[in-house]
Amino acid sequence: MDFIPYGRQWIDEDDEKAVLQTLRSSYLTQGPAVAVFEQALCDYTGAKYCVAVASGTAALHLAVASLELPEGCEGITTPNTFTATANSMAYCGLKPVFADIDPVSYNLSPDALAAKVNSLTRLVIPVHFAGQAAEMERIASIAQRNGLKVIEDAAHAIGSCYRDGSKVGNCRYSDATIFSFHPVKTLTTGEGGAIMTNDESLYRRMLLLRTHGITKDAGQMSQNPGPWYYEMHALGWHYRITDMQASLGVSQLRKLEQFKHRRREIVARYNDSFDGLPWLVTPHEAEGLESCFHLYVVNIDFAAIGKTRAAVMQQLHEAGIGTQVHYIPVHTQPWYQQHYGYRQGDYPATEAYYQNCLSLPLFAAMTEAEQKRVINAVRELA
């Protein structure tokens, strides 16, 4: 019996051919495939500019750093996220501040956000958790009233749509949007990420910082003695993505709508199969949204079935089914408690969600038989 992980990539012959073609070309990195991938992401989302990078974490860090916000100011995000979201602010000398989640969508609550804004706040990073877009219309309005920059953490949400029907990543509600292309995500480049923006000056800054802060553009250099010359204009990083990864990304992007359709089919089947279980709550997709679900997160009343979460995960593991917890609230992590004084109890909605959440297998390559195995195993928990 094959093990079913909670998520994995779908790589086919077209993907293999795309990568092989790059391997046989003159460029494995810093070649033409990166620009092709970036343009394809712009064409898909509707954003003007794209900077492809080494990871989703690199995308977050680069996006925050490029805003050049003053050290000591504050940025607000959700505690229901991977640590990289908040870490990107800490990297740049900002204090990460959290606002609690909506107990239904598990996304950043606009009301909680509004209550947290103060004179030190300069940035908000909403997270489109599990693929469902946050309430960006309200979040953008709050940001505009308070002069805040907005970066959308869409690591889970490439292919998803806002209430207005437009694609996540078009940046109509934000200064920048980041994607992640890790293998468990909807679209993969192995490791990799991207930043979308409509702001040309921000785009130019991100391009500079992506490659050590170095430019070879004669129009930007103070002198140009010859073709070997370059200048470092900022303290940047090596955050480039390779041509091998980019060629895989282009191939994967062509199939994104197919992946999305398949994921939504599986979510619908799960929802129908678990309907009526009194101890399990399925994910709720808000009216008007069209999510490309990255995760299928259920809320289980473990006390009602007389089992701990660890026992449930072990039972499913023995049945050949992988699960995961998304996420341990960031404010409960030791580093955040030691450096910023956060404590258990600070964000009750997030903590209540965390006590009962569990991510079940969801990936486009799941077979009908694998879906049935997961459904039967879950229904047999009680």
**What confidence category does residue 35 fall into, taking pLDDT thresholds of 50, 70 and 90?**
very high
Q: By C-alpha distance, which of 271, 267, 296, 266 is closest to 357?
A: 296
Contact 80, 130 (CB under 8 A): no
| Model pLDDT for residues 359-369, shown as the tens digit of each residue | 999 999 999 99
Interstrand relation of 231-232 and 214-215 (parallel, antiparallel or unpaired)? antiparallel
Residue 357: its H or E element: strand 357-360
Answer yes or no: is pLDDT of 1 > 80: no
Place of tokens 């958790």: 129
**CATH architecture, domain defined by 13-253:** 3-Layer(aba) Sandwich (3.40)
The whole-chain average pLDDT of the chain stands at 98
Answer yes or no: is pLDDT of 119 > 90: yes
- Decide which of 3.40.50.720, 3.40.50.2300, 3.90.470.10, 3.90.1150.10 is the CATH code for 256-379: 3.90.1150.10
Contact 328, 363 (CB under 8 A): no
Q: Say which residues have a Cβ less than 8 Å from residue 319's Cβ, sequence separation at least 6.
A: 373, 377
**What confidence category does residue 105 fall into, taking pLDDT thresholds of 50, 70 and 90?**
very high
Q: In the chain, what are the domain boundaries? A: 13-253, 256-379
Contact 161, 167 (CB under 8 A): yes
Mean pLDDT across 183-198: 98
pLDDT recorded at residue 93:
98
Mean pLDDT across 123-143: 98
Mean pLDDT across 173-195: 98
**What confidence category does residue 279 fall into, taking pLDDT thresholds of 50, 70 and 90?**
very high
Answering whether pTM is above 0.85, one says yes
